[in-house]
Amino acid sequence: MTDRPIDTVSVALGPRSYEVRIGSGLIARAGAEIAPLLHRPRVAVLTEEQVAALHLDALQAGLAADGITMQALALRPGEATKSWPHLARAVEWLLEMRVERGDVVVALGGGVIGDLAGFAAAILRRGVRYVQVPTTLLAQVDSSVGGKTGINTAQGKNLVGAFHQPSRVLADIDVLETLPHRDFLAGYGEVVKYGLLGDAVFFAWLEAKGPSLAAGDPALRQEAVRRSVAMKAAIVSRDETETGERALLNLGHTFGHALEAATGYSDRLLHGEGVAIGCQLAFDLSARLGLCPQEAPGRLATHLQTMGMKRRLAEIPGDLPDADALIALMAQDKKVVDGRMRFVLSRDIGAAFVTDAVPRKSLGAFLDEALGAQ
Ligand code: GLY
């Protein structure tokens, strides 16, 4: 706990507006944060086993401090949990716990739990409210905010889901101390994404502060989460269901999702690592197509290297499929419109844009080269 004030970022969506609270000690005061949302003093918590071992007792104590009781279901950790069988288990458990329409579900975990619990809440009794308590950097800066919920299927990632906004997000900076360094850096990939897509000043701030932030400085971590969430909140408020501008948040994701699929959604490549490599590829491709100055991908590469992050395909362990197979995986992405692949490219750091005008031949040659550099 510190004396540092808690930051509040509002996601302005009319009657579905909510606050993202960011700071130290938020799990310890979860009861006070959640109580105003409750009709009766009980919540159902969906979490996963590793997170439960680290943080569930603290959440229980934080809720109990305000007289709120909880029941919890801890699912298996890992991306495989974002699937039909675990969704069914979660929904049936919530029904067994007699969660009513007016109750609140709490998602305690990273992106997998947040997406799964949010989707379970979206379909339970045609929609109950939920609170996100994200426990990874990736979930704090991205997946817990904006209401994208869902599961993966054999056909691809996040292909089944719903837009269902949380009623509150509690991003407790203290939990980041328990994150393995690799997971922290993977989440940092999404932080860098915000600077790259629309805020060159933030990117320069990350260049200066990134190493201290990764080393554990809590004030810098809070500021990085606040600025990332503020950017996401502003974009989501203008384009909740991704009819336009929200697609910019997918910078690095078309390449990243294909790489995740190619590596079997395994430990070979974490989601945020795929996003960082994907951002580098998007900037390299932008420069190659003459859309952005060569200095921009160079600056990004230097920053990722300084941070000790993967940035090249060669840094992914094991073999990768060839360019044609990677392009086929990209074509399965949700971002395909009328059969045309859409890319988020950039005119410079902080100046991303969406385009479907990348010639298939140029893309193939670019990927051949990127793979050849392995
Ligand atoms: N993660 C991208 C989005 O929420 O739109």
Q: Is the per-residue pLDDT at 363 higher than 70? A: yes
Atom index in ligand 1 nearest the CA of residue 190 equals 1
- 257 part of the active site: yes
Please name which of 253, 283, 373 lies closest in space to residue 320, comparing C-alpha atoms. 373
Please name which of 313, 270, 16 lies closest in space to residue 137, comparing C-alpha atoms. 270
Ligand 1 atom 3, closest CA: 249
- Which amino acid is residue 254, in one-letter code? T
DSSP characters over 18-36: EEEEEETTTTTTHHHHHGG
- Which helix (DSSP H) or strand (DSSP E) does residue 216 occupy? none
CA of 232 from ligand 1 middle (Å) equals 8
Q: What is the pLDDT of residues 200-246, one digit of tens each?
A: 999 999 999 999 999 999 999 999 999 999 999 999 999 999 999 99
What distance in Å separates the CA atoms of residue 181 and residue 214, rounded to the nearest whole number? 8
Q: Which of 196, 232, 237, 354 to mutate to test the pocket of ligand 1 (most atoms within 8 A of CB)?
A: 232
Q: Is the per-residue pLDDT at 374 higher than 60? A: no
- 39 part of the active site: no
- 232 part of the active site: yes
> Average pLDDT in the 347-372 region?
95
What distance in Å separates the CA atoms of residue 115 and residue 128, rounded to the nearest whole number? 14
- 253 part of the active site: yes
CA of 161 from ligand 1 middle (Å) equals 13
CA of 125 from ligand 1 middle (Å) equals 25
- Position 332 scores a pLDDT of 75
Whether 350 and 227 have beta carbons less than 8 Å apart is answered as no
- 100 part of the active site: no
pLDDT band at 16 (very low <50, low <70, confident <90, very high): very high
> Average pLDDT in the 257-278 region?
92
> Average pLDDT in the 18-47 region?
98
Please tell me if the CB atom of residue 68 comes closer than 6 angstroms to any atom of ligand 1. no
Q: Which residues contact 374 (CB under 8 A, 6 or more apart)?
A: 312, 313, 314, 320
Please tell me if the CB atom of residue 249 comes closer than 6 angstroms to any atom of ligand 1. yes
Q: What is the pLDDT of residues 183-204, one digit of tens each?
A: 999 999 999 999 999 999 999 9
CA of 241 from ligand 1 middle (Å) equals 10
- 126 part of the active site: yes
Please tell me if the CB atom of residue 148 comes closer than 6 angstroms to any atom of ligand 1. yes
CA of 272 from ligand 1 middle (Å) equals 13
Domains and CATH numbers, the chain: 7-178 (3.40.50.1970), 181-372 (1.20.1090.10)
Please tell me if the CB atom of residue 146 comes closer than 6 angstroms to any atom of ligand 1. yes
Q: What is the pLDDT of residues 61-92, one digit of tens each?
A: 999 999 999 999 999 999 889 999 999 999 99
Please name which of 54, 269, 28 lies closest in space to residue 177, comparing C-alpha atoms. 54
- 250 part of the active site: yes
What distance in Å separates the CA atoms of residue 296 and residue 186, rounded to the nearest whole number? 21
Tokens 């190493």, residue?
211
- Position 335 scores a pLDDT of 64
- 271 part of the active site: yes
- Position 58 scores a pLDDT of 98
Q: Which of 228, 229, 246, 354 to mutate to test the pocket of ligand 1 (most atoms within 8 A of CB)?
A: 246
Please name which of 224, 222, 248 lies closest in space to residue 235, comparing C-alpha atoms. 248
CB neighbours of residue 69 within 10 Å: 11
CA of 253 from ligand 1 middle (Å) equals 10
What distance in Å separates the CA atoms of residue 361 and residue 358, rounded to the nearest whole number? 8
**DSSP structure class, residue 164:** -
> Average pLDDT in the 262-289 region?
94
SS3 349: coil
**DSSP structure class, residue 373:** T
What distance in Å separates the CA atoms of residue 78 and residue 113, rounded to the nearest whole number? 9
- Position 34 scores a pLDDT of 98
Q: What is the pLDDT of residues 251-267, one digit of tens each?
A: 999 999 899 989 988 88
